[in-house]
A and B are shown apart, each in its own frame.
Chain A
């Protein structure tokens, strides 16, 4: 509850800071300080300190899982702002507004991570989506950015429509918006409920770019200013995933036999399409867009398995994926050339940045000693023990082996190929040290995942 209120408040503060303050550095510092405060109040709430209690009639409930998840999201955003907030200046003139929109999105994520009622879910998803449409099109003079924004808006509103339709059908079947009420089995299962559930599933699948609803992703991620792509592909995606797992855990757990196979098929399709298409990309930015689809496939395993194990897995996966991808994007934003060749000889020019990027890539590929491995490990473990299907975990791991081929192309370019042009990259020491700390964290979580997971219980 703390974070929900503070994030909305911070959004408003950021909006007005643009009018009052002229210095961009000051605006940035307010945003970063606000982000830290957000993280802090959220952690305080985990320890039982709630500043303001509002009676939401049981429509919102902050449990341990939601709070920990929010902490990860806020921590990732904090890292994202420290690493990349400076680069937002290059996008356009409305610097303060971009930051305000980011805080509003965080408010939306705080809503969808704790909803107990479909109304709140809908509100949260919309609060996330609308600022995203604006951020995607924020590079106003760039045709690609405009196109991406329009495409995202049209397809996004369509899926929102589906979601609303689904909620309406479920209300028709059950007479309630509360997930606990929807989950209750009384009498025969109404076809309305199943239809509504499927519509909800598809619209959520759209939001987290699960195949075959992923077609917007590469274009939007590619067209959006890179610094916002980083935010969309990591924090927002992870944020919507918690809504996904919460919806199916609390709302449709009793209907499991009805949706389990569909989710399995969606997972398999996402893994296949994301990984195999990523192999053929020429631009690192587009490759990361497809890789985010592939990683979504892995995260979907947690919805499929639906057990305490899989919730732990999702927590770990969200943290590992956000940290690694934010790190890679932070480096990518600084590059002038987004193709694989643009990374040629990077290790010679920037040995430290190349080394940390390598750790992030290894983590995404799921190599042991990195957080990415432990995350994949928990997911596969959950998927294996909570279903009779052995083919899905096997497919997922084989696809992880495929993913090595495109992540390692960046490593090959950085370390084993020579550059033809001298580097023009300039980075501040603070940027370097943050990245090194982030890489150290990735390795630490790869050896001791308990450090994070223990928060779920204590």
Chain B
């Protein structure tokens, strides 16, 4: 029941929003719908945890072996919760932003949420593909309609990139489907398809390119900074907070267990790409003067680490990735909120033009510093346990011989991360205030509320991460069991 609600509430609410003429009403309606979704998601992980509540299956295309099959497993719970939490926070944080044709904006945002939920819940490959695209189309319209000056070209690049990835994945899905024993798209048939080594190696890249574009992993990342920069901030928050997790999530659920041999064989290559991307993005972030682009590049670095940790194929790494997906989503939405406030007040995002904000806006400064510290994974913030587990996983990995190199180089990018984040805080919030920032106002109630929620989550999950870890333990274990190549090696 819960999974169906998680998809249908935003879907129906989104469709209804198209017909609300009043901007304020549309805004309130969207917030209400997102809170309702949040309520469902929270119920799903607390008091309605019975298996019957967390699954739903129905016939869809029996001739093809495709089912409408959705299920909320541990990892799904966490990501659905992230999606559900982020929407009210985003709506609240950008409460004062005005949009031309606001009803369409909120409608598309909610439709995108339905797509995202569907991706995290689908237990059928064809359904998964449907939702994968359903999340993309509203995003394209959101970026192209309400974005910056170069929005049309940039969003189109984003769309073409991801669509190209999707069609490659479709080929992969169809190929695996043909190999399943019962001609079915269900995830269990995919896990038991019994593909040969050669087939897996061929298929790996069809799937991985689609996911790598979404994450994004170097060298498929070029759409990302432009899109983040041009998209309206509320959309950027969804893109970077939730949507990039689609790629990471898909690797864990659809790539590693379906193609274990190829994941093992290509693991080093992928990890090298991920680590290269981390260092490359961090170096670029250090040189960035634009706040949005800085956050965008820092996001590439964080996602790269998650990808590397997945391919370390250790329990610690896997659990780290799963809770980090949640934490990174929370943190980056916090960062975007601050960037949005700064841009709205001063009309610029250039770090060099800002300075001395802390004197005028102490509340904003304090909240930002907490979010920024979480971004560099300081202990006691939520990102620390995740990153620690991931590094632990990479270092103790038994599937690669380069674990030391990966750990050291990955750790280097964490140091770079501290450099650009602290540098940004220093330049924007401290030092002398200039003519532009002299009249700075502190943050308003809605932003306080949104950032407050985020800061509470950061501190709470930083002190007791066990709540999150308990949720994902089982999923991580079962994914790794399916991805284990040892039985295969023993057999041959």
Contact = CB atoms under 8 A, between A and B. Distances in A.
Given A368-B130, A368-B134, A369-B130, A401 B152 contact: no
Contact of B145 (A384, A393, A394, A415): A415
B159 interface: yes
A417 B61 CA distance: 39
Interface stretch (A19-27, A234-242, A404-412): A404-412
A405 B160 CA distance: 7
A416 B63 contact: no
A400 interface: yes
A408 B159 contact: yes
A9 interface: no
A253 to B, nearest CB: 22
Contact of B156 (A384, A390, A408, A417): A408
Given A398-B167, A401-B160, A367 B137 contact: yes
A385 B175 CA distance: 8
The SS class assigned to the B binding surface is helix
A417 B175 CA distance: 40
A381 interface: yes
Interface string A378-403: 00110011000010011001101100
B165 to A, nearest CB: 9
A397 B210 CA distance: 13
Contacts, number: 61
Given A408-B159, A449-B61, A416 B144 contact: yes
Contact of A367 (B133, B144, B151, B178): B133
Interface in B288-306: none
A138 to B, nearest CB: 38
A362 interface: yes
A370 to B, nearest CB: 10
Interface string B128-148: 011001100100010011000
B164 interface: yes
Nearest to A312: B63
A453 interface: yes
Contacts of A394: 168, 171
Contacts of A385: 178
Interface string B157-197: 00110011001101100110010000000000000000000
A377 B177 CA distance: 13
B11 to A, nearest CB: 11
B481 to A, nearest CB: 30
A404 B160 CA distance: 7
A369 B133 contact: yes
Interface string B55-96: 000000111000000000000000000000000000000000
Contacts of B61: 448-450
A369 B160 CA distance: 18
Contacts of A400: 167
Nearest to A384: B174
B174 A380 contact: yes
B168 A397 contact: yes
B484 to A, nearest CB: 29
Interface string B249-270: 0000000000000000000000
Contacts of A412: 144, 152, 156
Contacts of B171: 380, 384, 390, 393-394, 397
A449 B61 CA distance: 8
A377 to B, nearest CB: 8
A397 B144 contact: no
Interface in B39-63: 61-63
A398 B171 CA distance: 10
A118 to B, nearest CB: 34
A218 to B, nearest CB: 24
Given A369-B134, A394-B171, A415 B160 contact: no
Interface in A204-234: none
A67 B395 CA distance: 65
Interface size class of B (residues with CB under 8 A): 20 to 34
A390 B174 CA distance: 11
A404 B61 CA distance: 26
Most chain B CB within 10 A, of A380, A384, A394, A408, is at: A408
A64 B152 CA distance: 47
Contacts of B134: 368-369
A404 B151 CA distance: 17
B205 to A, nearest CB: 11
Interface string B106-141: 000000000000000000000001100110010001
Interface string A421-451: 0000000000000000000000000001110
Nearest to B151: A416
B283 to A, nearest CB: 32
A404 B136 CA distance: 13
Contacts of A390: 171, 175
A401 B130 CA distance: 16
A353 to B, nearest CB: 15
A380 B170 contact: yes
A448 B126 CA distance: 13
Contacts of B151: 416
A394 B63 CA distance: 24
Given A362-B137, A369-B133, A415-B141, A450 B63 contact: yes
Given A384-B174, A416-B152, A450-B61, A401 B167 contact: yes
Interface in B450-465: none
Contacts of A404: 159-160, 163
A312 to B, nearest CB: 9
Given A362-B137, A393-B171, A453-B63, A401 B163 contact: yes
Question: Max chain A CB contacts within 10 Å: which of B130, B141, B171?
Answer: B171
A369 B171 CA distance: 18
A77 to B, nearest CB: 28
A398 B170 CA distance: 11
Nearest to B206: A394
Interface in A356-370: 362, 367-369
Given A368-B130, A405-B160, A384 B137 contact: no
Nearest to A412: B152
A416 B149 CA distance: 11
A96 B188 CA distance: 60
A393 B206 CA distance: 13
A367 B170 CA distance: 12
Contacts of B144: 412, 415-416
A401 B164 contact: yes
Contacts of B175: 384, 390
Contacts of A417: 152
A362 B163 CA distance: 12
A398 B163 CA distance: 9
B79 to A, nearest CB: 21
Contacts of B160: 401, 404-405
Contacts of B156: 405, 408, 412
Nearest to B133: A368
A204 B160 CA distance: 34
Contacts of A397: 167-168, 170-171
Contacts of A367: 133, 137
Closest 5 pairs between A and B when the two form their complex, measured CB to CB? A397-B167, A368-B133, A401-B164, A368-B130, A416-B144
Interface of A: 362, 367-369, 377, 380-381, 384-385, 390, 393-394, 397-398, 400-401, 404-405, 408, 412, 415-417, 448-450, 453
24 contacts: A367-B133, A368-B130, A368-B133, A369-B130, A377-B170, A380-B171, A380-B174, A384-B175, A384-B178, A385-B178, A393-B174, A394-B168, A397-B167, A397-B170, A397-B171, A401-B167, A408-B159, A412-B144, A412-B152, A415-B144, A415-B145, A416-B145, A416-B151, A450-B63
Given A362-B137, A385-B178, 16 more contacts: A367-B137, A368-B129, A368-B134, A369-B133, A381-B174, A384-B171, A384-B174, A384-B175, A384-B178, A390-B175, A397-B171, A398-B164, A401-B160, A404-B159, A415-B141, A415-B145
